[in-house]
Structure 1
Amino acid sequence: MNNTPKGPGLLRRYVPILSWGAAYSRQTFASDLVAALIVTIMLIPQALAYSLLVGLPPQYGLYASMAPLVLYAVFGTSRALAVGPVAMASLMTATAASQIAAAGTPEFVGAAIALAMISGLLLLVMGILRLGFLANFLSHPVISGFITAAAIQIAAGQLGPLLGIRTEGEELMHILVSLGRNLAQLNPWTAALGVIAIVFLLWARQGLRPLLLRMGLGERMGDILAKMGPAMIIVAATAAVAGLGLDEKGVKVLGAVPQGLPEIGLPPIEMGLWTKLLVPSFLICIVGYVESISVALTLAAKRRQRVDPDQELIALGMANLGAAVSSGFPVTGALSRSSVNFDAGAQTPAAGAFTAVGVAIATLFLTPWLFFLPKAVLGAIIIVAVLSLVDVGAIRRTWSYSRADFAAMAGTIGVTWVAGIEAGLLVGVGLSIFLHLYSTSRPHVAVVGQIPGTAHFRNVTRHQVVTSPEILSLRVDASLYFPNARFIEELINDAVAANPAVRHVILECPGVNTIDASALESLEAVNRRLKDGGVMLHLSEVKGPVMDRLKRSHFLQELTGKVHLTQFDAVASIQPELASATLKDRNSSSIWATGPSM
């Protein structure tokens, strides 16, 4: 039965605003408006900071915070996701665009905007083709390691502006070396502003709200003002620089920020440029999507709301296309702003559209007030924002749980710091795939026996079980495919060679979800060799889809034994007396040897 929606239903699926917009109320409007006000105050300084992180003039961060938010409100399915510039995408944009031209040049600006266009098109195509599963190739340890490594690298890159020191390079090692080499350039006024800003922002996260409550403010107002820490430090620092003339003492300021809305137009469309930016764009959109959908699903679960992952691809694609045609750089969902948006009471994606209006108003009327904003404070805002993404605990937990996953995580971190973020991410993905193939090439196979008093079969090394010297029962705990086909074949041959009394081999297959062509050939070879040695091959507990595929081959006709519904049926068909006697022996219960096998 085809459940694909048609007509109006199809339109609502791809344009979700038609669904939630029909029930939009005055109360919802008020909630969205309050949330938008808080997020706008938070977004403006972050947009300026992330624009400088990319290497673009500050107004481009504001440009990336208008059209994308409106388009996501139309096409997005998350009620609380706040889309816009984020640290990871900004760093990846800076890295990719720097391969095209030097920061600040028209070619660099064009490359950054083109990245948004290419990323948007890739996301849009992935959404239409429902290819969200591609993000699954980024395992959690790799993503966690990448985010931690990139966050530390971003923070290190902001130490220069924070201290008034010029740094060079993009990789962590180069940044730290240049920082140490140029330490004599440290500007005490800049360093003082930067350190004060960091201390205040860190304190504001935990201490500002309790202070406001002790001053007599209500819970609601205390929550709202506590989110405005970045705006407060910007106002104070800008006033201090202007009032004390600190710009004349070496403190670098933002300078003139153009007023007005962005011009609408297309980025450079050149085949050579787009070819160079294709791989970075793909990495940006994949990382951005993983970050965004994780946040969206987490917040939706708290309100028992639904998020459509494939539609989110389309929504983020449209948001990035909106950024590209309005002089913005790549955007995605932001963890910190989305959490604030959620806590502030946003009920629908309209809150994002209202935020875009607030940013537009600021771009039109407030930019002259930003002239004396010290870049050190923007650096402090970035450092505090990204350090919250560093998850040392995840590294420790991964080491304790899985050495293979830790190897992928450590490789991602190390290569990111030494060779750059793109190389780190690609190495992490490559390591994850390699380690997965290696582990699945040697799957767990257990020799099983019957537990007395039951029809259950368990690992002979973990339970007290009953076995027969004439029957070799092997439980395969993985699907059979080309990396492990030869391993299974050799394992069966070796096991039979080591047990001359064996006359029957039973493969118990509850964990086998597929048998590919290579594995089928190996099973056929095993069947022939066992037949030549006077041993019969049986299968048990074969899943329906696997059985359907086997029926399309000649294997079942050539199988020397039978296919049984259960392992007990298989053993009972060969040695019914032993199976029945063991089943009736209820005086001997199952005793764990070293722990459960399943």
Structure 2
Amino acid sequence: MIGGALVPRLGWLKHYGGHKAVKDVIAGLILAILLVPQAMAYAQLAGLPPQTGLFAALVPPVLYMVFGTSNYVSMGPVALVSLIVADAVSGGDPAQTALIIAVEAGILLVVIGALGLGRLVNFVSEPALLGFTAAAAILIAFSQLPTLLGLNVERAGDLPTAFSALVGEIANIQTRTAVIGGVTVLVLLLLNRFAAPALWKMGLHPPYRQAVAKSLPLLVIVAAALFATGASGVETVEPVDAALPSVTVPTIDMALWISLLPSSAAVAIIVFVTATAVAKSLAGTDRSHLDTSREAVGLGMGNIAAAFTGGYAVGASLSRSALVEESGAASRVASVVGSLVVLAVLLFLAPLLVYLPKTALAALVISAVFGLIKLADIKNVWSHDRLEGVIIAVCFIATLMLGVRLGLAVGAGVSIMHFLWFSSLPRVTRIGTDDGGKSFRSVSRKDVKMLDEPVLVVRIDRSLFFANAAFAEEQIMERVSRHDDINCLVLDMRSVNAIDASGAAMLRRLCTRLNLQGINLHFAALHAPVEQSLQSIDTSIIGFHRTVGQAMDHCSVGQGDSEER
């Protein structure tokens, strides 16, 4: 029902008790250990003050709890969204730009959910996303290298510009800053790779294993802060006010709002695609309670709320969501508990945050984005289809060379082009039998025999629509032209699930062409909607049959009432 996703479903609270509350409190406390430093680091990535990231982690989980459907999704600042925001804020007022992007992306997501249009984002294919996210990871790492090395380099949205700017300032590296940042990156990468397996071997199991494993990076950041206090010249984060966020209102500048729409659309697509993927991956075998429309509304409401409470655009973090799941969370309350801890940090520990070195937060971002490069998935796609492997490469190169917004647009474009090309070339194959008429398969298969003339049996292996109807007609007539003695053509339509007006017109035209050549056309194994679309054809010159065997029996080929599979 259109608009139904806008109505909160809180019936699950009726069954919420003390046992679940204890689980959620534990999971929320564990989540906050990772959320606090990540929120500050991703805000820095976005070109915003660190407290903006903390503000963005406060209200969105509450809205997601009301409208969302997954028990484990952790909403808050994420790397990909922060990179898109960084690309947009570099040319204007960062606070207003980030606010408008969050509002526009939130509205787009709410509309998508309210109208049930979530399937539209599927036009960005898996190969395109793999190439895009891998390139985005490299861009994120490069954007943080100047901060890691203590350089003052203007932010760039593409790799050539970023690399050129970095090389131009390489002689000005701040040694102390670079050492602290480099060591922090190395230690964090080692912990990401070996901490959890080592703790498992030591006998620590969920939720304690992840609680300890995710506490270690925080300890590394604290250790970096201690070293930075004794090293002059190491830049630390801006002071964070020990107060609640104030209500922020966007400027009324339509030209600015319109100019930011591409960035907002990119944020909305990335947020929705990644969040639904996270929710599905953590839902286990039972995904019946997941509702993508409600997911979109929950994500949209969270972004709008983040904008008006001092934050910026947010998404669903895979690493934090997996942490919530493995920590034993019982409901969406766990993420709200994490937000309450962030609030407590803001109110009571804010003065201490000023000691965190920016280079350590940059190191945290760099160590986290390696998970966006999914080499195993890329290898699987390449093994499956070389053309889709090329799509990965095209999106990867486009994103590196052109930036994230144009890279995502290229990804959507090549995905649609691949779909149209694939759909426009339906497989049309002659079929025969290798078991006396019990089944009919392509004659290209081993041991499948061609049926004797005067009958020709052809199968169409795709739905027919305007883009492929002419090609299918050409392929059918080309096969007919190879045989001078046929008087009957049987079309196996079992794989034609749908047909549009162009497809129906093509079949009517085909019937007329064959009739002029003295060839009778028979349709077999039609789906009911397809058969209804062809009822206007003169039934005196065509036939409709339940099976290929029955069609051949009508053509007097002696196949009886055999069935095909």
Q: Same fold (TM over 0.5)?
A: yes
Deviations 1:285-342 (A, max 9, x none): 1111110111111112267672111111111111111101102111111100001111
Q: Which shows bigger deviation, 416-425 or 214-223?
A: 214-223
Whether 2:113 is the aligned partner of 1:137: answer no
* Paired residues of 2:65 and 2:333 also in contact (CA < 8 A): yes
| Distance across 2 between alignment mates of 1:386 and 1:251 | 24
**1:94 aligned to 73, 76, 86, which one?**
86
Structure 2: state its 5+ residue gaps.
none
Letter in 1 for 2:277: S
Local SS of the residue matching 1:448: strand
Asked if the contact 1:113/1:330 (under 8 Å) is kept, the reply is yes
Matched, 1:506 2:506: no
Question: 2:250 is aligned with what amino acid?
Answer: P
In the alignment, which of 258, 267, 270 is matched to residue 287 of structure 1?
270
Residue type matched to 1:227 in 2? K
Amino acid at match of 1:37: L
Shift of 1:222: 4.7
Contact 1:472 1:502 in 2 (8 A): yes
Matches within 5 A, 1:48-197: 48-98=40-90, 101-102=91-92, 107-168=93-154, 169-197=156-184
Q: Answer yes or no: is the 8 Å Cα contact 1:452–1:465 preserved in 2.
A: no
Q: Are residues 1:326 and 2:319 paired?
A: no
Instruction: For 1:209 and 1:406, locate their aligned partners in 2 and report how far apart those are by CA, in whole Å.
Output: 32
How does the TM-score come out when normalised to structure 2?
0.94
How big is each residue's C-alpha offset from its partner over 1:18-57, in whole Å with a ceiling of 9 and x where there is no partner? 2121111111111111111111121111111111111111
CA separation of 1:537/1:239 partners in 2, compared to 1, >3 Å: closer, same or farther? same
- Amino acid in structure 1 at the alignment position of 2:238: G
1:303-322 correspondence runs (5 A): 306-322=289-305
Residue 452 of structure 1: CA displacement?
3.2
How many Å apart are 1:507 and its aligned residue?
1.1
Give the whole-Å Cα distance in 2 for the aligned partners of 1:133 and 1:213: 40
CA shift at 1:212, angstroms?
6.3
What does 1:504-583 correspond to in 2, within 5 Å?
A: 504-551=488-535, 554-555=536-537, 557=538, 560-577=541-558, 579-580=559-560
**Displacement after TM superposition at 1:394 (Å):** 2.3
The alpha-carbon deviation at position 187 of structure 1 amounts to 1.7
Aligned mate of 1:429, from 386, 403, 412: 412
How far is 1:529 from its partner?
Answer: 1.3
Match in the other structure for 2:238: 255
State how far apart, in whole Å, the 1-side matches of 2:467 and 2:198 are. 61
Change beyond 3 A, Cα 1:389–1:548: same
- 1:240 deviates by 1.6
Equivalent-residue separation in structure 1 for 2:97 and 2:540 (angstroms): 61
TM-score by structure 1 length? 0.89
**Does the C-alpha gap of structure 1 residues 583 and 40 become closer, same or farther in structure 2, counting only changes over 3 Å?**
closer
Letter in structure 1 aligned against 2:337: F
Write the distance in 2 (CA, Å) between the matches of 1:356 and 1:572.
Answer: 71
Q: What is the letter of the counterpart of residue 15 of structure 1?
A: P
- Classify 1:467/1:217 alpha carbon distance in 2 versus 1 (closer, same or farther; 3 Å): closer
Instruction: Give the Cα–Cα distance (whole angstroms) in 2 for the partners of residues 140 and 54 of structure 1.
Output: 26
Cα displacement string for residues 133-166 of structure 1 (whole angstroms, at most 9, x for unaligned residues): 1121111111111111101111121111112233
> Residues of 2 paired with 1:359 and 1:204: CA distance?
24
Structure 1 576/471 Cα, relative in aligned 2: closer, same or farther at 3 Å?
A: closer
Q: Distance in 1 between matches of 2:143 and 2:50?
A: 17
- Do the aligned partners of 1:538 and 1:559 also contact (CA within 8 Å) in 2? no
Secondary structure of 1:482 counterpart: coil
**1:30 counterpart residue number:** 22
Cα gap change, 1:221 to 1:470, in 2 (>3 Å) = closer
Q: How far apart are 1:455 and its partner, in Å?
A: 2.2
- Cα distance in 1 between the residues matched to 2:415 and 2:318: 25
Deviation at 1:532, TM superposition (A): 1.2
CA RMSD between the two structures: 2.4
Question: Contact 1:398 / 1:405 at 8 angstroms: preserved in 2?
Answer: yes
Residue 467 of structure 1 aligns to which amino acid in structure 2?
Answer: L
Confirm or deny that 1:368 pairs with 2:351.
Answer: yes
Show the counterpart of 1:15: 8
* 3-state SS in 1 of match to 2:101: helix
**In 2, Cα distance between equivalents of 1:148 and 1:31:** 35
Deviation at 1:64, TM superposition (A): 0.4
Distance 2:204 2:450 in 1: 73
Spell out, residue by residue over 1:348-406, the C-alpha distance to the aligned partner (whole angstroms, 9 max, x if none): 11111111111111111212112221111111100111111211222222222112212
Hey, what does 2:331 align to over in structure 1?
348
Other-structure match for 2:249: 266
Q: Matched residues in 2 for 1:498 and 1:5: separation?
A: 53
Runs of 4 or more above 4 Å deviation:
209-222, 302-305
Contact 2:433 2:439 in 1 (8 A): yes
Q: How does 1:198-213 map to 2 (within 5 A)?
A: 198-208=185-195
Query: % of aligned pairs identical?
Result: 35
